[in-house]
Structure 1
């Protein structure tokens, strides 16, 4: 992943033709992107903040899956706080008013969240595989301490790989407007294909393999408790959904963009479509921060139990308040009736 930072940093294409073909961002596009980022911000902030609070206050020994989900929530929250900046950029018509440092941080956290999420989700899938297929033999290996060590190593690998984004200039002036390069248009270098393959393909194939092996094991009549079987299938299925919905379209679009954008026989309309598809799928990657809490809900029993108790208490409090109000209203009506006589 050491080449990711240089190939996925987002300088502009050098040709004037490419700049002309890109055109100005449409008002409708900017509005839709801005509203989308605002909605994702509120969903992801509430879901991951709740998850982080629950995971950090759980009693007893944490399972490896819960450890990976805890780190996944941290990764999502690190990214959630730059979503308002992305929203403001689009809602102001493609102008970046926050300066160079904020633009660098936005690009850095975008890639750190995406690739940390990819690998943490793969870790969750791997833990589900061990728990289902090798339930007894994996007991010693599946320790919370080992999961924390693996998570810290993943954090270090991703952060170091993306660190050059913090050192290279990420803003530019285009037609008198300051733009943040990652949000304006990404680089169409063929060298980025190597980084896309290294960063995305291994965790995706690993997660897919875990899913297929778990399904095969369950079809062969695993002795695992039915409730645990359902939990494993839900977790892996949801993880695969996040891969397919949030990450796969972006990486396919990036590969298509890289291969097609700089070709001399590609017209301006096609380049515009490629650029728009790249921006759209880039925005879709943010959905993972809003969908990850569903992984916690289906994959972590203690998390689900805590959420259920919270809602039950709120529902009970609401019923109690309503009952109290009805009794109070009945008593007042009775007093009023007596006063009329």
Structure 2
């Protein structure tokens, strides 16, 4: 994409909304407020989740390990949301310089694809726990989950490392723009990378959950309440895919295929750019929704949160907390943590 020909709309200018790719005043205000709201929700939810996961005692399940790493991935992206909000509230101007732009783009992609793969790992672990409960006991250990998680971190970080080594800011109409904010390269090579990064975890997650649903509906011995909880968790994870990730990748594919077409009109270009901004903003919403996955998908997380709330209400009664802990942990089983 030739970023030097793009027009950027300052927040307080009178430039029309018909400019190819330019943000209007209303868009900038709405996007800026949206990023601030998501930042507050995601920061509080994932910080609490990380604190609870790190203070849990006893043997952790593989699912909890993957959810712990998912919380770290979310927080790594949450910290750049104020930069995105500032970009919009200053009318599409990037005042932070080259290095923060590179880091912001790097963390955006690392978070998104790490989240995709950790959600896929959770789906795979749940599939083993429900469909192959006995056979999978030898491989479903926390240390294996940590090893897989660190391997995924390394894979995603190395794949996105070129963003840290290449120029990511440019001057457009006298304004500094960060190319990683809606102005990524629109090449066919980028389309292939997009498909390779998104398709495997999406298909793996979808396949695992469809097999789990089939098992639950046909012959699973789980109690009806546990079946309902499992289906609710599956529905929530798939909702995150449909709302946060699928629109962005579909929009990026359409953008890459259509934006550089010689016969495309200015209005169509603007529509593609707006769709790109909207769907890009939706990807960060997963940071606010993932705490719901922890709440519904990790039994120990719910127990720890309940004990924390009860302790606050009772003034920290250790006896009550201990009784709750014993009761809760004794009821946890590998197959009930969906």
TM-score by length of 2: 0.87
Aligned residue in 1 for 2:291: 293
Distance (Å, rounded) in 2 between the aligned partners of 1:76 and 1:208 = 21
Distance (Å, rounded) in 1 between the aligned partners of 2:204 and 2:244 = 17
- What SS does the corresponding residue of 1:241 show, helix, strand or coil? helix
Distance (Å, rounded) in 2 between the aligned partners of 1:273 and 1:232 = 39
Structure 1 residue 157, shift from structure 2 partner = 0.2
Structure 1 residue 308, shift from structure 2 partner = 1.9
Structure 1 residue 275, shift from structure 2 partner = 0.7
Aligned residue in 1 for 2:205: 207
- What SS does the corresponding residue of 2:53 show, helix, strand or coil? helix
Aligned residue in 1 for 2:155: 157
Aligned residue in 1 for 2:180: 182
Distance (Å, rounded) in 2 between the aligned partners of 1:191 and 1:46 = 37
Distance (Å, rounded) in 2 between the aligned partners of 1:226 and 1:50 = 30
Does residue 1:13 correspond to 2:2, yes or no?
A: yes
Alpha carbons of 1:143 and 1:226: their partners in 2 closer, same or farther (altered >3 Å)? farther
Structure 1 residue 24, shift from structure 2 partner = 3.1
Aligned residue in 1 for 2:232: 234
Quote the RMSD (CA, aligned, Å): 1.7
Structure 1 residue 316, shift from structure 2 partner = 4.7
Does residue 1:145 correspond to 2:143, yes or no?
A: yes
Distance (Å, rounded) in 1 between the aligned partners of 2:45 and 2:6 = 44
The answer as to whether partners of 2:182 and 2:280 remain within 8 angstroms in 1 is no
Aligned residue in 1 for 2:324: none
Distance (Å, rounded) in 1 between the aligned partners of 2:303 and 2:223 = 18
- What SS does the corresponding residue of 1:135 show, helix, strand or coil? coil
Does residue 1:51 correspond to 2:49, yes or no?
A: yes
Task: Structure 2: give runs of 5+ residues left out of the alignment.
Answer: 9-17, 316-338
Distance (Å, rounded) in 1 between the aligned partners of 2:131 and 2:88 = 47
Does residue 1:83 correspond to 2:81, yes or no?
A: yes
The answer as to whether partners of 1:100 and 1:171 remain within 8 angstroms in 2 is yes
- What SS does the corresponding residue of 1:178 show, helix, strand or coil? strand
Task: Structure 1: give runs of 5+ residues left out of the alignment.
Answer: 1-11, 318-341
The answer as to whether partners of 1:128 and 1:232 remain within 8 angstroms in 2 is no
TM-score by length of 1: 0.86
Distance (Å, rounded) in 1 between the aligned partners of 2:152 and 2:233 = 21
Does residue 1:194 correspond to 2:192, yes or no?
A: yes
Distance (Å, rounded) in 1 between the aligned partners of 2:55 and 2:196 = 36
Distance (Å, rounded) in 2 between the aligned partners of 1:219 and 1:263 = 48
Tell me how many residue pairs correspond in the alignment.
Answer: 306
Structure 1 residue 210, shift from structure 2 partner = 0.9
Distance (Å, rounded) in 2 between the aligned partners of 1:82 and 1:239 = 24
The structure that has the greater radius of gyration is 1
Distance (Å, rounded) in 2 between the aligned partners of 1:23 and 1:144 = 47
Does residue 1:63 correspond to 2:61, yes or no?
A: yes
The answer as to whether partners of 2:45 and 2:291 remain within 8 angstroms in 1 is yes
Aligned residue in 2 for 1:113: 111
Structure 1 residue 14, shift from structure 2 partner = 5.8
